Amino acid sequence: MDYETLIVEKEDNVGIIKLNRPPFNPLNTQTYLDLYDAVCELDSDSAIGAIIITGNGEKAFGAGLDIKDVMGKSVVDVLDFAWKAPRRTFDKLTGINKPTIAAVFGLALGGGCEIALCCDMRIASEDAVFGLPEITLGIMPGS
């Protein structure tokens, strides 16, 4: 299956999902929907024994919410987005029986950090930075 915001590859019995919105791989509604579908696809593939999630590019695993996705929306609409797209994806990612590994480099902020936290294991490069910067704005992390 082709995805708008991801690259999905299969190497031997490993599924690899790359967030593909370089350079910072911000997360928008489409990214969460694509990630949900990719996890479902790889989970149902009996040839896949493990799933690795990483970012495409050189600067970031995932730099959090794409602000353009919520600009101009009401608080109710933003909360509706936060509940539907990420929550469903995170529930799926944490609920599968196959081991999941976050291969983190560069920035893993906000939703990017949350994706890494949903995985069973996190492997981080020396330049990896994890954070939930929304708390400095008085905003609770989305998931």
Q: Would residue 114 show up in a list of annotated catalytic residues for this protein?
A: yes
Please report which helix (H) or strand (E) contains residue 60, including its range. Answer: strand 60-62
Q: Kindly report, residue by residue over 4-60, the tens digit of the pLDDT.
A: 999 999 999 999 999 999 999 999 989 999 999 999 999 999 999 999 999 999 999
State the pLDDT at residue 30: 93
Closest CA to 93 of 59, 60, 120: 120
φ, ψ of residue 86 in degrees (nearest 5): -65, -45
Determine contact, residues 3/38, Cβ cutoff 8 Å: yes
pLDDT at 27: 93
Q: What is the pLDDT of residue 99?
A: 98
List pLDDT tens digits, range 94-134: 999 999 999 999 999 999 999 999 999 999 999 999 999 88
- Superfamily grouping for domain 6-137: 2-enoyl-CoA Hydratase; Chain A, domain 1 (3.90.226.10)
Catalytic residue chosen out of the listed positions 9, 11, 58, 114:
114
* pTM of the model as a whole: 0.92
Contact call for residues 56 and 22 (beta carbons, < 8 A):
yes
CA distance 81 to 23: 24
* Average pLDDT, integer, range 63-82: 79
d(CA 98, CA 110) in angstroms, rounded, equals 24
Distance CA 139, CA 3 (A): 30
- Which residue ranges make up each domain of the chain? 6-137
User: Is a pLDDT exceeding 80 seen at residue 80?
Assistant: no
- Is residue 81's pLDDT more than 80? no
